[in-house]
């Protein structure tokens, strides 16, 4: 359900109004609206306010809410790997999709992120969302898939690589 769909907009506005009313009556501190969180999770063009990102860092329950939301809307979800992984994660695989990190031989400070879909004809994802154990989530717009695959270059010192290599991180292809 796209975030700019009129019915979705109406439903989100109603949810926000309800949350605002509860916050006012209960005296609880306000938090980013569900509509904003929904847009962040589903709309590649949505630019998050610094306040939303700060709230996601500060509030574990909001991060958990985002994680659940992403899990619901994602075409493919890669769970945390803590139970089975030791050290950095180089490859994640679920039914329908595979994600691999390969350090560049030419420049060890960079790495290739490859994403492959089992079914090349399946609708390709357009956004990669990463939610780690702490800190702000990271969202990345994906280039166009070709033949069910896409490849990007990442700096190994960057946050995106750090999160992808961290077994605690959940990865969502939206």
Partner 1 sequence: MTAAHIHILTTEGPVLIQRIAEEDPGIRSVVCVDGRAEALPISPAYDAFVRRPTGVIERFTGHGAYRMDVASAVTEGQSWQLAVYLAHVAALKGAATPAVYATGEVDHDGAVRPVAYVERKLKTIGPLDPDAVILVPADAVPDIDTVEGVRLVRVATVDEALAAVGLEPPAVPVAAASLARPAHRPRTARFRSVALALAGAVLLFWLGFQPAQWAGMASEGRLLDLETALDAADGVGRVQAGLFRTYMSARRPDPNGVRVEAAILAAPTGAACGEAAKAFSPGDALAAGETVCRAEVRAFAGNEGGVVVGRLAYWPDGLGVGRAARILRGSAEPGGRFWQIDFAGNPPPGAVLRLALIAGPADVSGAQPWYSDLLSTAQGGAALEATVQRLVRLGYAASVYDWRIR
Contact 54, 39 (CB under 8 A): no
CA gyration radius, the chain: 17
- Beta carbon of residue 102, minimum distance to partner 1 (angstroms, whole number): 5
106 counts as binding partner 1 under rule CB under 8 A: yes
6 Cβ contact partners less than 8 Å away, ≥ 6 residues apart? none
2 counts as binding partner 1 under rule CB under 8 A: no
**Comparison of 6 and 95: residue with beta carbon closer to partner 1:** 95
64 counts as binding partner 1 under rule CB under 8 A: no
110-117 β-sheet, strand order? 91-94, 97-103, 110-117, 149-155
CA distance linking residue 79 with residue 75, whole number of Å: 13
**Comparison of 114 and 135: residue with beta carbon closer to partner 1:** 114
- Beta carbon of residue 64, minimum distance to partner 1 (angstroms, whole number): 16
Assign 109 to helix, strand or coil.
coil
74 counts as binding partner 1 under rule CB under 8 A: no
Q: 127: closest CA among 157, 171, 93?
A: 171
Stretch that binds partner 1, among 44-52, 54-62, 108-116, 134-142 (CB under 8 A): 108-116
Stretch that binds partner 1, among 28-36, 37-45, 126-134, 144-152 (CB under 8 A): 144-152
120 membership: H or E segment, kind and range:
none
Q: Which residues bind partner 1 (CB under 8 A)?
A: 79, 83-86, 91, 93-95, 98, 100, 102, 104-107, 110, 112, 114, 116-119, 146, 148-149, 151-155
């Amino acid at each position: 359900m796209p975030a700019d769909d009129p019915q979705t907009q109406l439903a989100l506005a109603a949810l926000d109004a309800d949350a605002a009313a509860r916050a006012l009556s209960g005296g609880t501190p306000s938090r980013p609206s569900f509509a904003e969180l929904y847009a962040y999770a589903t709309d590649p063009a949505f630019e998050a306010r610094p306040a939303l990102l700060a709230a996601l860092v500060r509030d574990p329950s909001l991060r958990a809410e985002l994680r659940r939301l992403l899990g619901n809307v994602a075409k493919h979800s890669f769970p945390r790997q803590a139970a089975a992984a030791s050290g950095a994660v180089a490859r994640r695989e679920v039914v329908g999709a595979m994600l691999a990190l390969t350090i560049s031989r030419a420049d060890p400070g960079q790495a290739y992120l490859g994403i492959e879909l089992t079914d090349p004809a399946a609708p390709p994802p357009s956004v990669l969302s990463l939610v780690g154990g702490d800190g702000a989530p990271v969202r990345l717009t994906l280039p166009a898939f070709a033949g069910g695959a896409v490849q990007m270059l990442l700096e190994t010192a960057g946050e995106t690589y750090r999160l992808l290599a961290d077994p605690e991180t959940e990865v969502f292809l939206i």
